[in-house]
Amino acid sequence: MSELGQFQDAFVAALAERSAAPIAGWLPDSDGGGEAEPAGLAVYRNTIAKGCVDALAANFPTVAGLVGDDWFRAAAALFAREHPPASAALLAYGEAFADWLERFPPAGDLPYLPAMARLDRMWTTALFAPEAEPLAAEAFALAPDILAAARPRLHPSLAFAGFDSGLPGLWLAARQPEPGELALREDPQAILIARPRDTVTSRVLDLAGFAFLAAARDGASLGEAITAAGQADPAADLAALFAALIADGVFSGLDLGDPA
């Protein structure tokens, strides 16, 4: 490795370890002892720390809005110190933030906060997911037996999850420009997040819709996925459910199987 490369690695280590020791060999040493902590290192550390905090605020806006700017930025600074970014790109920084919040004592009085962070993360993941053209309704204009045997390919941006309480509804309400009074419902809810084209969309997903997508994710045919949806909610309007999912743009392909 070149000396420049060695210095770059040592400089990164000095920032991470909060010590000038890794770069001691490159520091001026006019008095024999060297400068223990060059002022410039603090400037670099503060710049990096601010960038991490700003990135977390952008990637977890619901969490930031619920706890307030002071609380969030203090927590984000602690997280950034424990979890420095792995690359210069901070667009998706914070993969471990939700798990970290579960262990963060000041968040103990806010048990919904890790879930809010996970939902924010799902939104960011959908935003940066690969592009794919969603299937239009015409793609499903097939004979009933062929359609039932077909296996759908889900859009790469699609994310969905189920919860034992109304956390998805709370998250959606908190993301409104004027959220008003927020309330957490006790009934189970699921969430659907996708970016089939230019904009990330999200909505509460009923039990039948969640069962359908979970079956499709696991490789089920459309007929099997519809059966799973009907078992999850016998009262569900399955035709309306399927039409809504097509409108959501959750399908990117259809593999035709053998009707037999």
Strands 159-163 and 151-154 come out as: unpaired
Both 108 and 210 in one domain: the answer is no
Same domain, 195 and 123: no
85 pLDDT more than 60: yes
Q: Within this chain, do residues 104 and 177 fall inside the same structural domain, yes or no?
A: no
Is the same domain home to 115 and 176?
Answer: no
Spatial distance between the Cα atoms of 56 and 75, rounded to a whole number of angstroms: 10
Question: What CA–CA distance (Å, rounded) separates 253 from 66?
Answer: 38
Q: Cα–Cα distance between 131 and 196 in angstroms, integer?
A: 8
pTM metric for this prediction: 0.81
Question: For residue 205, what is the domain's CATH number?
Answer: 3.90.930
141 and 90 co-located in one domain: no
Residue 86 in any domain: the answer is yes
Q: Is residue 52 part of a domain?
A: yes
Residue at 52: amino acid letter: C
pLDDT mean over 145-162? 96
**Residue 2 included in any domain:** no
Structure tokens that stand for 211 in this block: 């069962």
Asked whether residue 6 is domain-assigned, the answer is no
Band of the pLDDT at 30, cuts 50, 70, 90?
very low
In the beta sheet, which residues pair with residue 189? Answer: 163
Residue at a domain's end among 127, 157, 178: 127
Confidence of residue 91 (pLDDT cuts 50, 70, 90): confident
The number of folded domains in the chain is 2
Task: Assign 38 a pLDDT band (cuts: 50, 70, 90).
Answer: low
Q: Are residues 113 and 159 in the same domain?
A: no
**pLDDT value, residue 32:** 42
How confident is the prediction for the chain on average, in pLDDT? 87
Of the residues 108, 127, 146, the one at which a domain ends: 127
Render pLDDT for 208-230 as a digit per residue (tens, 0 to 9): 999 999 999 999 999 999 999 99
Secondary structure of 65-124 in the HEC alphabet?
HHHCHHHHHHHHHHHHHHCCCCCCCCCCCCCCHHHHHHHCHHHCCCCCHHHHHHHHHHHH
| Residue 249 scores a pLDDT above 90 | yes
Q: Of 74, 100, 127, which residue sits at a domain end? A: 127
| 65: containing domain | 38-127
**Statement to judge: residues 118 and 195 lie in one domain:** no
- Tracing tokens 């933030």 back to the chain, one arrives at 97
